[in-house]
Amino acid sequence: MTKTRLIAALVMAPVAIAAILLLPTPWLIAAAAVVFLAGLWEWFDLAEIEDTLSRTVLLVVHMALMVALVWASRGGGAGDPGQPPSMVLFKIASLVGVIWWLLALLWLQRFNFASDHRTYARMFKLAAAALSVIPAWCALTWIHAEGGNGHWWLLTALAVVWAADSGAYFAGRKFGMLKLAPRVSPNKTVEGLIGGAVAGVAVGVGLSLLAGATAAQLPWVALVSLVAVLFSVVGDLFESLLKRHVGVKDSGHLIPGHGGVLDRIDGVLAALPAFALGKAIFGF
């Protein structure tokens, strides 16, 4: 499995990095929307939305919301077509995402909440999907579009999550003894969390130098990277909770060795709003 995971990562990583660094923001956020909506489609499985028509309608609604956000934020107009797009709505959505993931901690403490497969449970899980996917996509847009080095900052934010995921995986396999959340995700350990945090912060600080961070900003970059890692763990655990409720191991089988799309972006969904907000607060 480790070899399969490695091969899949070696294929996906260059494509993702090239897209982040080379594509202009409109094309990148369109590509990101496809990935996020694919993860959302798998989320519908975890919410037990079985009817294809219902799933399609829900997907179209989320896509329409993304389009509406872009349209409402477009710059200028007939009088001033050169004005850049406004990021206000994307910033508000990112803040909403951070608040949602803090509330998700309460859900994680109540394993049986919305686990009885009734209509209200599906409604809670669909609301959670919208509060996870839309703010994360908005945060991605905000980071990439803002400033001359937005593409490098987005790569830094995502690399923090990727490094933390890999660090947690290998540290957990080698040293893991203390279970982090045994009922939600039995394989996650405290040692893995520590290893992931160290890896995520190290990569965040290193890549931030390429993004233009100054020496004085590095402590704040390290702090924001650590917070992003912790949020990514919440996102990972929350998806694990949803999978436990329906008795599945992976959200899908699209990516060899990695499960589904949602399995790959669960941490990203939670980390991106936290990183974007932290970056704005500390001004790097």
- Within-domain flag for 78: no
Query: If you count DSSP H runs as helices and E runs as strands, how many of each does the chain have, helices first?
Result: 9, 2
pLDDT of residue 83: 72
188 three-class SS: strand
Q: Between the CA of residue 15 and those of 42, 80, 168, 189, 257, what are the distances in Å?
A: 22, 36, 23, 30, 18
> Is a pLDDT exceeding 60 seen at residue 177?
yes
187 three-class SS: strand
How many separate domains does the chain show?
1
- Within-domain flag for 182: yes
- Within-domain flag for 151: yes
Confidence bin at 54 (pLDDT 50/70/90): very high
- Within-domain flag for 31: yes
- Within-domain flag for 253: yes
DSSP per residue, 75-90: ---SS-TTSPPP-HHH
- Within-domain flag for 56: yes
What does the mean pLDDT of the chain come to? 90
Residue with tokens 């959670």: 128
- Within-domain flag for 80: no
116 three-class SS: coil
pLDDT tens profile 17-30: 999 999 999 999 99
- Within-domain flag for 26: yes
> Is a pLDDT exceeding 90 seen at residue 77?
no
Average pLDDT over residues 198-222: 96
- Residue 136 φ/ψ, nearest 5 degrees: -65, -40
Confidence bin at 55 (pLDDT 50/70/90): very high
Residue 21: how many other CB atoms lie within 10 Å: 12
Q: Are 20 and 158 in contact (CB under 8 A)?
A: yes
Does the predicted TM-score (pTM) go above 0.95?
no
> Is a pLDDT exceeding 90 seen at residue 257?
no
- Per the DSSP assignment, residues forming a β-bridge with 278 are none
Note down the domain range covering 26.
2-73+85-282
Average pLDDT over residues 185-205: 94
**Tokens standing for 36?**
């996020």
pLDDT of residue 79: 46
